[in-house]
Structures are given as C-alpha cells and as structure tokens.
Amino acid sequence: MLTEDGQHLYVSYDEYHSLIEKLALKVHQSGWQFDTVLCLARGGMRPGDMLSRIFSKPLAIMAASSYRAQAGTVQGQLDMARFITTAQGEIAGRVLLVDDLTDSGHTLQSVVEMLRRDYPAISALRSAVIWSKQVSTFVPDYSAEFLPSNPWIHQPFEVYDQMPPEKLLQKWRL
C-alpha cells in the first residue's frame, strides 16, 4: 500500500510473493533461457530462492551491501564479496542476476560491471528485480513493478531488523 504522500510503500507477505510470481512470469514470457539464478544478498535472496525453485535452476549467492546505517535506510559505501557461492562449481553460462529493487542503480550497475570483467565464463547476463524506481540510473531487464515516484519500500520481513533475541524472548515469553 502506497501512502497518500507517496513517500512510503508498505508491502505485505502476500503482495511480496505475488510480485515475485509476476516477475517470474515476465522472465518466462520473454523466452530467455538461463542456467543459473545469481541473487544478491540480502535483498535478492528471497526472490532468488523463489525464482530458482520456479525455474528449477541452481541458485548462486553473492553478498553486496550499501545500506547499513540507521536500520538500513542510509546508503553508504558499496561492499561486494570477492567470491560467489554456488554448488555448481564456478558460475558460468547464462545468468539471471536477481535483487529486490533498483533504487539508485549503483549496486546493480557495479555488480554487472564486476561480473562482466571478472567472470568471463558468464556468456549472457540479465537482471531481474521486484521494484524498479524511476530515479534509478540502472534499468533492469525484468521488473515486476515500476515505481514512478521514489517511495521507501517497507518489506514485510524488515520487522526483524529491530528484533534482537531479547525482544523475541519478550514476545514469546520463553
């Protein structure tokens, strides 16, 4: 649900999963075949996992992070992992790069440049996100939802950013 001022988008678990299914259909309807789903941790892990299952493709994981300060609301320096984790050996072939959103576009652009430079075994690379914001400088190949404004997206699992074990103890009174 988008707030009246357009500043915040609140997403329920049902909406979140429906958008990932919509993204899967867009990829499928494009006819593009890929060998591996590469998700960016953390935001791309849930959609990456679902797409991996829907398409019956192996899942690879790469950590990248730029949002750390103030509970993940302030963008900082981009950190990217040196290695990609996959059970299939080294990542190769046609790769679908998955993240939750393209906000500024900086993360996805940097990751794509690094993959093209450092992983010559990748023969084709396309990107897929749940949300693509108009302010982004990076345009993904697939997007479930285009946001013409620049709302802050409140994803359903973000409640755990502010729920350390002590708060869980209070919640469950264990």
Q: What is the pLDDT of residue 174?
A: 64
Q: What is the pLDDT of residue 72?
A: 47
Mean pLDDT of the 103-130 span: 95
We report the CATH number of the domain holding residue 35 as 3.40.50.2020
How many structural domains compose the chain? 1
The answer to whether residue 55 sits within a structural domain is: yes
| R_g of the chain computed on alpha carbons | 17
Q: How far apart are CA 70 and CA 73, in angstroms?
A: 6
The answer to whether residue 99 sits within a structural domain is: yes
- Lowest mean pLDDT, pick from 15-29, 47-61, 72-86: 72-86
The answer to whether residue 53 sits within a structural domain is: yes
Owning domain of residue 26: 8-172
Q: Is the peptide bond before 94 cis (omega within 30 degrees of 0)?
A: no
Q: What is the pLDDT of residue 69?
A: 46
Mean pLDDT of the 42-52 span: 96
The answer to whether residue 2 sits within a structural domain is: no
The per-residue pLDDT for range 62-111, each reduced to its tens digit, is 998 775 444 444 555 788 877 888 887 889 999 999 999 999 999 999 99
Q: How many CA atoms lie within 13 A of 147 on its CB side?
A: 22
Q: Tokens at residue 159, please?
A: 């409640």
Q: What is the pLDDT of residue 71?
A: 45
To the nearest whole number, what is the mean pLDDT of the chain? 90
Q: What is the pLDDT of residue 2?
A: 65
The answer to whether residue 122 sits within a structural domain is: yes
Q: How far apart are CA 98 and CA 41, in angstroms?
A: 9
Neighbours of 165 (CB within 10 A): 7
The answer to whether residue 3 sits within a structural domain is: no
- Kindly give the residue spans of alpha helices, DSSP state H, lying in the chain: 13-30, 45-55, 69-72, 106-118, 165-172
